[in-house]
Structure 1
Amino acid sequence: MSRRNKWVLAVMLLLGIAIFAYSLRDIKFSVLINDFVHINFWWFGVAVLCMLIYLGLEAWIVKVFISDRITGFTFKDALRIPMVEQLFNGITPFSSGGQPAQLIALMQTGVDAGKASSVLLMKFVVYQSMIVINFLFALLIGFHSIQDKLHALAWLVVFGFTIHFAVIVGLLMVMFWYAFTKKMVGVVLYPMRWFMKPARFDRMEANINEKIDSFYAESVRISGQGKLMLRVFVITFFQLMFYYLIPYFIMLALGYTSASIVMVTSLHILIVMVISLFPIPGGSGGAEYSFEMIFRSYITSNSKLVLAMILWRLLTYYLGMLAGLIAMVIRPDKVVEEKNQVND
């Protein structure tokens, strides 16, 4: 972990403390402590378990993809990947550092960079696809509720969906209209020549074309493996469901047992979509504000609302970063070189 990343991590932790402190400005600390000690720790334990299962299922997905191409890849190494991803997603704007960090983590286990890149691309496609599908259902169920609570900010949800949907469309175009997509990318990139130095533009263009070629080659390779892809889609569905259920179990822990599990889960899906648009790492500030505004009508006690928000952020953001720090000091098992096999 570079010195710059360490500084960013420290800043994000301090920012989180500042946001929590600001949220508690009108609440007596003794009241907050009283609310905390009286929560149902069994239900809170279920919320914690949901986050751990979320990480475990992503590790399973990594294992499925890697084991399809390489033998000797352990589940311990697979588990390091989502943990490292959580850390670097949490300290970079728009979660942009997660993919490169996963690539490095896979290479540390001895996986070839090309194979690792292909696996991460396919994992990304499945994950994005399931986010879009889940969001469509959540939009139908909960958009009227979020619109009433966040007003103009609710349209950020729609904007976020548009971005995620555009990413999926672009990836599908690479898979099924490769030549056309390559030409379109060239057309879109061409005006950038006017604002960039030739050498820098050429490097950028070569890098983008390399990623397109890599993704297309992997999509061709895996197109005949319907059972594997179906398996990964099913695992990803349950992975996201466990994540989206976390606020519901936190509400149960705080004694709010009458809330609709479908509505609460749908609202959390919409919150996650809003968070993805904030340029600050982890969506800090926007995440906390969105949660409080949306769940204010469900959690009537102001102190319990802030406590719910803090517990939610600790589980969905800071726990993942802590897991990533632990993963950084775990020595990976090396894939035995002579056992590397590509199942083409």
Structure 2
Amino acid sequence: MSRRNKVVLGIMLALGIAIFGFSLRNVNLHNLGHDILHIHWQWLIVAVICMLLYFGIEAIITRMFVTSNGDHFSFRDAIRIPLIEQLFNGITPFSSGGQPAQLIALMQSGVEAGRASSVLLMKFVVFQAMIVINFMFSLLIGFQYLAEKMSYLSLFVVFGFVIHFTVIIGLLLIMYWHGFTKKLISWILIPIGWFVKAERYDRWKQALDEKVDTFYKESVRIKTQWKLLIKVFVMTFFQLLFYYLVPYYIMLSLGYTGINIIMVTSLHVLIVMVISIFPIPGGSGGAEYSFDVLFSSFIHSNSKLVLAMLLWRLLTYYFGIFAGMFALVTKPDRIDRKIKRNKE
């Protein structure tokens, strides 16, 4: 991890502590202590298991893609990938650092750079597609509630959906209309060329063309493995489902048993969509506020609402960051695959 990333990590942890402190300003600490002592720990453990399954399933998916061409890739190496992704997603704006960090982690495990890039691209396509599908269903269920509670936040939700949907359309264009996509990128880049030097413009265009070509070649190969894609889509659905269920089990741990699981899960999907467009790493501030407002109708006790928000944030954000820090310093089981194949 670079010095800059360490500084950002420190800032994000300090910001998180400040936000937690601010959230507690109007909370009776005696009531908060009482709520903590009376947590139904079995349901909180289920919430933790949901997060572990979220990471574990992504590790299995990564391993499936890497080994689809015969490479050996241990689960120990595979589990490092989503954890490192969580760390760098959590300390970079718009979660932009997760993909490069995964690429480096795969290469540390001995996966060739081109192969690693292709694996991450295909994993990203499936993940984004499933996010959009889940969001569409959640929008039908929870958007009216969201609009009533915070009409201005609903605009962010729609904007987030448009961004994710546009990404999926762009990826599908590369997969099925490769030539047209390259022409479209050239047209889009023309106005940019008016404001940057020709040398930099050519470098950007060449880099984009290479990425498009790489993704297209891998998509042609992977489309022939339709059984693998079906498995990955199904597994990604359950991966996201476990993640989206975390607030429900947190609420059960606080004694709220009569809640609607579908509504709570749908609202969590919408919150995640809002967080994704906040420029602050991890959506800090916006995430806590969104949770507080949307779930206040389910949790009427102020101390329990703040406790639920703290537990949710610890599990879905900080847990991944700390686990990623551990994964980052863990040496992968690098294997010389050329030697292995010669022995075989």
The letter for the 1-side match of 2:284 is S
Deviations 1:101-121 (A, max 9, x none): 000000001110000000000
Secondary structure of the 1:331 match is coil
Closer, same or farther: CA 339–226 of 1 in aligned 2, 3 Å: farther
Cα distance in structure 1, aligned partners of 2:238 and 2:141:
19
The letter for the 1-side match of 2:143 is F
Shift of 1:69: 2.1
Shift of 1:208: 1.0
Whether 2:2 is the aligned partner of 1:2: answer yes
Secondary structure of the 2:150 match is helix
The letter for the 2-side match of 1:58 is E
- Determine if contact 1:71/1:339 at 8 Å carries over to the other structure: no
Cα distance in structure 2, aligned partners of 1:153 and 1:138:
15
For 1:285, the equivalent position in structure 2 comes to 285
Cα distance in structure 2, aligned partners of 1:266 and 1:26:
28
Structure 2 matches for 1:57-68, cutoff 5 A?
57-68=57-68
For 1:324, the equivalent position in structure 2 comes to 324
For 1:145, the equivalent position in structure 2 comes to 145
The letter for the 2-side match of 1:278 is F
For 1:171, the equivalent position in structure 2 comes to 171
For 1:121, the equivalent position in structure 2 comes to 121
Structure 2 matches for 1:1-344, cutoff 5 A?
1-338=1-338
The answer for unaligned runs of 5 or more in structure 1 is none
Cα distance in structure 2, aligned partners of 1:119 and 1:340:
21
The letter for the 1-side match of 2:26 is D
TM-score, normalised relative to structure 1: 0.98
Cα distance in structure 2, aligned partners of 1:245 and 1:337:
39
Cα distance in structure 2, aligned partners of 1:337 and 1:74:
12
The answer for unaligned runs of 5 or more in structure 2 is none
Deviations 1:145-174 (A, max 9, x none): 111111111111111001100000000000
Shift of 1:123: 0.1
Cα distance in structure 1, aligned partners of 2:340 and 2:207:
26
Cα distance in structure 2, aligned partners of 1:19 and 1:273:
20
Cα distance in structure 2, aligned partners of 1:70 and 1:201:
39
- Determine if contact 1:72/1:336 at 8 Å carries over to the other structure: no
The letter for the 1-side match of 2:187 is V
Cα distance in structure 2, aligned partners of 1:205 and 1:31:
59
Cα distance in structure 2, aligned partners of 1:271 and 1:309:
12
Cα distance in structure 1, aligned partners of 2:126 and 2:166:
14
Shift of 1:339: 5.8
Shift of 1:70: 4.0
Deviations 1:129-160 (A, max 9, x none): 00000001000011011111111111111110
Shift of 1:336: 2.1
Shift of 1:337: 2.6
Secondary structure of the 2:69 match is coil
Aligned residue pairs, count:
341
